[in-house]
Chain A
Amino acid sequence: KQEVTQIPAALSVPEGENLVLNCSFTDSAIYNLQWFRQDPGKGLTSLLLIQSSQREQTSGRLNASLDKSSGRSTLYIAASQPGDSATYLCAAGSGNTGKLIFGQGTTLQVKP
């Protein structure tokens, strides 16, 4: 059974710092790994999708990597800004149903 874990649960950094969010999964037989952002009381916004055959994806200041052999993905945020404050969720896509298994999220606070 696939389990997804995100550590730490919360993170507070000063503005301008580069940071890394971690995501680990127990079953390496994934189709993809998707990173989302969630603002308080809102739905999820898709940030990056890494297919199982890919090693990384980039969008602006965001870079996500995937290492299936070690069961890990990281989300790198460069030059963090207060507007980056949110909860970041990773989810592993498994099987042929499109089902996503979610981690519990990392809540990020970027202080001005």
Chain B
Amino acid sequence: DGGITQSPKYLFRKEGQNVTLSCEQNLNHDAMYWYRQDPGQGLRLIYYSQIVNDFQKGDIAEGYSVSREKKESFPLTVTSAQKNPTAFYLCASSIGALGYNEQFFGPGTRLTVL
């Protein structure tokens, strides 16, 4: 089955800790995205990558970092510099990065700061 997987489903972080969220896709898509969702709000773009070894900041990149070493993988690290990291994180991909391509989403990771 083709799709997007995210792990873990739930993640707990202590103050001052860095944590990494995994996103893998086997759709052979070039573009991948990370969004953050807070209760009662729409999604906001954190980072995106149009191609391997390239990525760009989205609207709320501060306190986050990413890498894109393989086409199928786009991990997101939430650093200690992110002041309010508790949220639901969603990864998405599309066949290309142009605006008319449909985006597909993974099941999400819920991050809670203890």
A-to-B contact residues, CB < 8 Å: 4, 30-32, 34, 36, 41-46, 49, 51-52, 89, 91, 93-100, 102-105
* Count of CB-CB pairs between chains A and B under 8 Å: 80
Q: Are B105 and A96 in contact (CB under 8 A)?
A: no
- Additional 4 contacts, C-beta under 8 A, given A36-B105, A43-B108, A99-B33: A41-B108, A49-B102, A94-B99, A104-B42
Partner of A32, one of B100, B107, B110: B100
B-to-A contact residues, CB < 8 Å: 6, 31, 33, 35, 40-45, 48, 50, 56, 58, 90, 92, 94, 96-108, 110
Most buried by A among B42, B101, B106, B108: B42
Question: Could you say which residues of chain B place their CB within 8 Å of the CB of A94?
Answer: 99
Q: A98-B48, A99-B45, A104-B41 given as contacts; is B97 within 8 A of A34 (CB)?
A: no
Partner of A97, one of B35, B48, B105, B106: B48
